[in-house]
Chains A and B, each alone.
Chain A
Amino acid sequence: MNENLIKVYRTRYFWLHLARAELKNKFRRSKLGILWTFMNPLLLTLLMSTVFGTVFNMSFTDYAPYVLSGLIVWELISSSFIGGGYSILTGEQYIRQFNHPIIIYTLRSALVFTTTFAIAMTSLIIWMLFMNPENVVVGLVTLPLTTVLYFFLSWAITTIAGFTNAKYRDYPQVMALVIQAVWYVSPVFFKKEMFTSNPALELFFSLNPITHILALVREPLLNGSMPTLNNYLFTVVTIVILAFVAAWINKNNQNKVIFYL
């Protein structure tokens, strides 16, 4: 593993370029370009909070930032699982010609998703600057660590997803369903109160790592308080577990994966 990481460092110019190129290509020839990353969650939030706010009868000003923060973080998680599935497949041409470590291709995807997250976060920060400017300071203080944690979370997920999809091509179909199911039991759009109707659901809510991962962004920016130790603990443990799984999968498959491409 150590030797792998040294090789990752040595190829840093290459994967940084791949990540940059992917971000650039995504918005090529579009008028707004990378601004879309910023606009999209905002516009979606407007739409969602109008619909959900009406259905569940909640005040728009409270609910909209909740939806926006949920949307931004969920985008990172779901694209790591689903988009990350293609991280190794899209590197096929490179893998066939260079023996760079395979994880640089999953690293590329994680960088793209984390960068997208960071850009989208500016929309939430600007929103809060108008709504609750007193929260922005603690929000900005916690953001660097949160982004680093999210990046490692994303890298672990894209690595697992990339190898799995290279081997089992049913992965995107299955994962799309699983992700949708997880969405329903996670407080992405649904507020905590909606989970308290049922004790089993409430327990699940507090044990769901996604609740805590989301809290890293929500506690500071929405409530103006530091995330709890519990929030950090759940997030870090989730990352460590996923990282172990990713490292194990990588160890067993990095040499063979070329046969599955």
Chain B
Amino acid sequence: MDKCYINLDKVDLYYPSHIYNATTLKQEIFSLLKLQKKKEKLDNVHALRNFSLKVNEGEKLGIIGHNGAGKSTLLKTIAGIYPIKSGSLKVKGEIRSLFDLALGFDLESTGRENIMYRGLLLGETPSSIKKHEEEIIDFAGLGEFIDYPIRSYSSGMLVRLAFAISTSISGEILLLDEIIGAGDASFAAKAKERMSGLMSEAKILVLVSHDLSTIKEVCNRVIMIKQGQIVKDGKPEDVIKYYQNSI
């Protein structure tokens, strides 16, 4: 069995600006007639710059940095959602990303049906979801409400269901944008336990978080990102100290 890894080699990623630079016919004519100021051209956003990173099996990588440093962009690039301009991205292992838990929910359908929908979205087969179903319902603690349309749920119940479904299936490479806590005090404790279970099961964990104590607790390697580049890479204590000094 090959080991899992993530390997980014000299990756450049741009958010193209021509979409924001698009002008309407009216704007073009008006600026030609000097009735309106010409729209300022925006530059492409260089989100990841010559970015190289290798993550090996067993590593729990924490990513820290200021807002807009490129943390979430990095996560979504690893997930294969954003196209890279140059360099190479190689990922070995099955990726499971938890970005938006409630995605794919249909308000008119029952909780039970939504377990199926969300599970299919995550790449499961109907039969494998059926196997998890009871466990998910049990964990979400919804009781008989599972057969009601989720339109009738309180927001807390919805979050519990979403959390229960999304965390029921583990993956080899787990990508997390902030650790998700959910629900009331008793559920939050359960959720935390489940989350740590999921994180320890994963062969590789990549966690983006602003909560430094969680990072210190969970990760065994931390990188700090600034303007799309790694400025510090190493043990959690060292990098976090460096980060705190830079604020």
Q: A97-B103, A255-B83 are in contact. Are A14 and B15 (CB under 8 A)?
A: no
Q: Which residues of B contact A56 (CB under 8 A)?
A: none
Q: For window 74-95 of chain B, which residues contact chain A by CB distance below 8 Å?
A: 79-83
> Is A259 in contact with B16, judged by CB distance below 8 angstroms?
yes
> Is A93 in contact with B120, judged by CB distance below 8 angstroms?
no
Per-residue contact bits, chain A 86-103, to B (CB 8 Å; 1 contact, 0 not): 000000011111110000
Report, as a range, how many residues of chain A touch the other chain.
20 to 34
Per-residue contact bits, chain B 18-31, to A (CB 8 Å; 1 contact, 0 not): 01000000000000
Main secondary structure of the interface of A (DSSP, over half): helix
> Is A99 in contact with B123, judged by CB distance below 8 angstroms?
no
Asked whether any CB of chain B lies closer than 8 Å to the CB of A4, the reply is no
Q: Which residues of B contact A28 (CB under 8 A)?
A: 108
> Is A94 in contact with B81, judged by CB distance below 8 angstroms?
no
> Is A11 in contact with B123, judged by CB distance below 8 angstroms?
yes
Q: Give the complex CA separation of A255 and B77 in angstroms.
A: 11
Quote the shortest CB–CB distance from B46 to chain A (angstroms): 14
Quote the shortest CB–CB distance from B91 to chain A (angstroms): 11
Q: Which residues of A contact B97 (CB under 8 A)?
A: 97-98
> Is B106 in contact with A21, judged by CB distance below 8 angstroms?
yes
Q: Give the complex CA separation of A256 and B79 in angstroms.
A: 15
> Is A21 in contact with B117, judged by CB distance below 8 angstroms?
yes
Q: Give the complex CA separation of A256 and B16 in angstroms.
A: 9
> Is B19 in contact with A260, judged by CB distance below 8 angstroms?
yes
Asked whether any CB of chain A lies closer than 8 Å to the CB of B51, the reply is no
Q: Which residues of B contact A13 (CB under 8 A)?
A: 120, 124-126
> Is B19 in contact with A97, judged by CB distance below 8 angstroms?
no
Asked whether any CB of chain A lies closer than 8 Å to the CB of B193, the reply is no
Main secondary structure of the interface of B (DSSP, over half): loop
Q: Which residues of A contact B16 (CB under 8 A)?
A: 256, 259
Per-residue contact bits, chain A 190-232, to B (CB 8 Å; 1 contact, 0 not): 0000000000000000000000000000000000000000000
Quote the shortest CB–CB distance from B192 to chain A (angstroms): 23
Asked whether any CB of chain B lies closer than 8 Å to the CB of A54, the reply is no
Asked whether any CB of chain B lies closer than 8 Å to the CB of A249, the reply is no
Asked whether any CB of chain B lies closer than 8 Å to the CB of A132, the reply is no
Q: A98-B81, A99-B80, A256-B83 are in contact. Are A14 and B108 (CB under 8 A)?
A: no
Q: Which residues of A contact B106 (CB under 8 A)?
A: 21, 25
A-B contact count (CB 8 A): 49
Quote the shortest CB–CB distance from B80 to chain A (angstroms): 4
Asked whether any CB of chain B lies closer than 8 Å to the CB of A58, the reply is no
Asked whether any CB of chain A lies closer than 8 Å to the CB of B100, the reply is yes
Please pick, from B79, B108, B124, the residue contacting A99 in the complex, using a CB distance under 8 A: B79
Quote the shortest CB–CB distance from A11 to chain B (angstroms): 7
Q: Which residues of B contact A97 (CB under 8 A)?
A: 79, 81, 97, 99-100, 103
Q: Give the complex CA separation of A21 and B104 in angstroms.
A: 11
Quote the shortest CB–CB distance from B147 to chain A (angstroms): 17
> Is B103 in contact with A93, judged by CB distance below 8 angstroms?
yes
Asked whether any CB of chain B lies closer than 8 Å to the CB of A17, the reply is yes
- Top 7 nearest A-B pairs by Cβ distance? A255-B83, A99-B80, A13-B120, A17-B120, A14-B120, A97-B99, A99-B81
Binding site for B on A (CB under 8 A): 10-11, 13-14, 17, 21, 25, 28, 93-99, 255-256, 258-260
Contact sample, A vs B, 25 pairs, CB 8 Å cutoff: A11-B123, A13-B120, A13-B125, A13-B126, A14-B120, A25-B108, A93-B103, A93-B104, A95-B81, A97-B81, A97-B97, A97-B100, A97-B103, A98-B79, A98-B97, A98-B121, A99-B79, A255-B83, A256-B16, A258-B81, A258-B82, A258-B83, A259-B15, A259-B16, A259-B19
